[in-house]
Structure 1
């Protein structure tokens, strides 16, 4: 049952807005209450007054390519939340150039506009500049002469902003938001100093997120160059000869699936074995290498529970997920520092997260993770998780993991093949340097999160002070 909030009670003016309806629905709507709370502030501007435009590019013809020399990264309405942008699909430059409204510019606020997740908010980061983005994403372009970009985003991404945006969603089975639905949203104006402070925090966070992306990319390149395998740092899988018309001898009962013997993957495995290496099973012998235990989710409040992260959400910039009671879940939902989680169930589409890896450290240790990941914990301190992650986030590792798939529609990994995966050793100095590069990248990510949280706290405090004054 929804109740009116004591600190934001239903007012006579609300009754007038609704034609003096006495049914409670409109008055306990979170969106309606949020809008009225913002409108009571001394100074607000309609969103259309502080933006250059609010738009989406319209439907486009998507011709796809796998050649980075002839393509542009394309962001779907889910990809805009991705933490790592290095493995996304590309459309051809011809498709990209046919619509001048496709490219993003850093600092724009992005709002998903269709589907069951309509109304979710993020922003175009510095490394999204010039990338193509789906028509299912609204672009809110700030007029920087009227409002700082970071302040506008921070409000629209706040609890009040998101609640108001979700209140504009219409439709039944397929939800939608149109540009015109957002144009009259009230945007509180606090004072120039606060707005500039919030924008400064936002700009610093954007810079740190670029440093994070550059850091993990640099670590992977360093890994292969140190192993003497620079050709694997920029693997173009689809440029290799396709796995057709091949034969295999000395087949054992371990596996009879042709995918597990694909020549492309086998050539990569032989390349890895040509350099000093250890098997993944050997590295994890005194650690952990298995999927999580299945369990029943028991919901809990944020104050008494932990956030449960699933396969897709684990790859987002900021975690999302339901809150569960950790005391009624297996112990392996919580992870040790520098655990690598590999998405363990899914299908073989190139844009699926199946076989992609995430690194759990620092702030993300506070979250729980579903059973749909292989938990990889090194048992050898000479091979820390940060070093291993530089390899497992690569295209080469992704393709090798895919080649170890078993199952019907939903794939998972053949446990023996997974344990046999060769991991280049490099030298101790190389391993230390690569691991530190990864750790520093994740420190930058956490700092970016903290700056965005600080901006939200500063906004909430300012609104509360103005409202009480």
Structure 2
């Protein structure tokens, strides 16, 4: 595919008004044109609308990250990668002692903040919801704290995410290989004032969206807890898993399937035996025959969205708003698409504690419109045996994560041992419990989809009002 170049002629006044910057970023991003459009509105500069630490626009210092396994000694830690995910229940834990120190205590997230990635891929933006209270963020996430006396926080977030706000946000980035944003780059960011009615309406939409995402998280957590409680079990934690000892110096009887020690580790065997003490069935009996495999390999031919599927990879699989390249429909196999209720598991990666390898996601609603890469394991429940949402309530658990990792094969890049997958023991609650778990999961994903729609409505409202005022 040929490389596309952009060319634009600009007046010399633009150079003077932008500090005589000679790099093309500020002029190509559209911020200058938008600044001209906003002259038709009453505007404020962003620092006049924020309050709090360092005036309400800040990131953090570089610091050594000391991670812990026990939640009693740690706080959930948000990085730029995890920030984009929908399910925040598996965040790594930063040492509580470090987090609450004078140096880092102001990095705590509070609901209503706007969080923006400011290193690497800069400008990705989310709105902090209530279940993010008590989470700490890293130095590569910039916080914008709206002063409630001057501007509704939801409106400010909606504006910064519009096609008018995003160019302002990214126009100040600098760096060649790794780009950065700093608080000082927001000193002259213009915010249009669209009137109390519009601003409050946009704020309410964003707040409703945040509440729905909090419900999404709560329903998923409740579904998993109910699933385990109903069979007399409790999902293990990372701390418990590591407290069971190391995987060194043990004896095991090797079968013909594998000779890798990891596949016989005592912690894995102990976890399987715990599950087998109650009602259970092997994973293979609960899934549609012929599934429990990764997708096909295929040539990826780029195409316009009108003739293409959005191809989602392992990382984007877990994002609230999955991104991906557009690939021609004509050249892809059928199994790049998955049906509603499918459970997709990251099937390639390394064994780092915070890696996504072996984490599971659920497909429902508009997520079925995407295509999914060959590096993703398809787990499709047989609805005659188990409700698919109920199966996901278990597959998203720490117990399932540890079992899946224990059947890994490979050297650097790990994959699953597909002969061992069908025999993994899955707790099997009564039909009424399975239905309740399924209902909770479905309700969670419907809330998530509605939350995205409300965010989009808020952004469209702001964009439409700015455009109409500029005519």
TM-score (norm 1): 0.93
In 1, the alpha carbon distance for the partners of 2:260 and 2:19 equals 67
CA distance 1:348–1:233, shift in 2 (3 Å): closer
* Superposed displacement of residue 200, structure 1: 0.3
* Superposed displacement of residue 114, structure 1: 1.1
CA distance 1:25–1:380, shift in 2 (3 Å): closer
In 1, the alpha carbon distance for the partners of 2:90 and 2:7 equals 45
* Superposed displacement of residue 358, structure 1: 0.3
Contact 2:404 2:416 in 1 (8 A): yes
Question: Which residue number corresponds to residue 467 of structure 1?
Answer: 470
CA distance 1:34–1:357, shift in 2 (3 Å): farther
* Superposed displacement of residue 357, structure 1: 0.3
Query: Within 5 Å, which residues of 2 pair with 1:18-33?
Result: 29-33=28-32
SS in 2 for 1:40: helix
Pairs aligned (count): 461
SS in 1 for 2:293: strand
SS in 1 for 2:335: helix
In 1, the alpha carbon distance for the partners of 2:389 and 2:41 equals 50
Contact 2:25 2:171 in 1 (8 A): no
1:207-265 Cα distance to aligned partner (Å, 9 max, x none): 1111100000000000011122136489721222222211112x122100000001011
* 2:421 matches 1:418: yes
TM-score (norm 2): 0.93
Gap runs ≥5 in structure 1? none
In 2, the alpha carbon distance for the partners of 1:337 and 1:374 equals 15
CA distance 1:100–1:410, shift in 2 (3 Å): same
In 2, the alpha carbon distance for the partners of 1:419 and 1:13 equals 67
CA distance 1:27–1:372, shift in 2 (3 Å): closer
SS in 2 for 1:256: coil
1:332-372 Cα distance to aligned partner (Å, 9 max, x none): 11110100000000000010000000000112111111111
Deviates more, 1:53-62 or 1:103-112: 53-62
**Cα RMSD after superposing both structures:** 2.3
SS in 2 for 1:386: helix
Question: Which residue number corresponds to residue 153 of structure 1?
Answer: 157
Contact 2:127 2:210 in 1 (8 A): no
| Ranges of 4+ aligned residues in structure 1 off by more than 6 Å | 9-12, 18-21
* Superposed displacement of residue 417, structure 1: 0.9
In 2, the alpha carbon distance for the partners of 1:393 and 1:125 equals 22
Question: Which residue number corresponds to residue 40 of structure 2?
Answer: 41
Contact 1:387 1:431 in 2 (8 A): yes
CA distance 1:19–1:283, shift in 2 (3 Å): closer
SS in 2 for 1:255: coil
Contact 2:109 2:134 in 1 (8 A): yes
SS in 2 for 1:209: helix
Question: Which residue number corresponds to residue 267 of structure 2?
Answer: 264
Question: Which residue number corresponds to residue 82 of structure 1?
Answer: 85
Gap runs ≥5 in structure 2? none
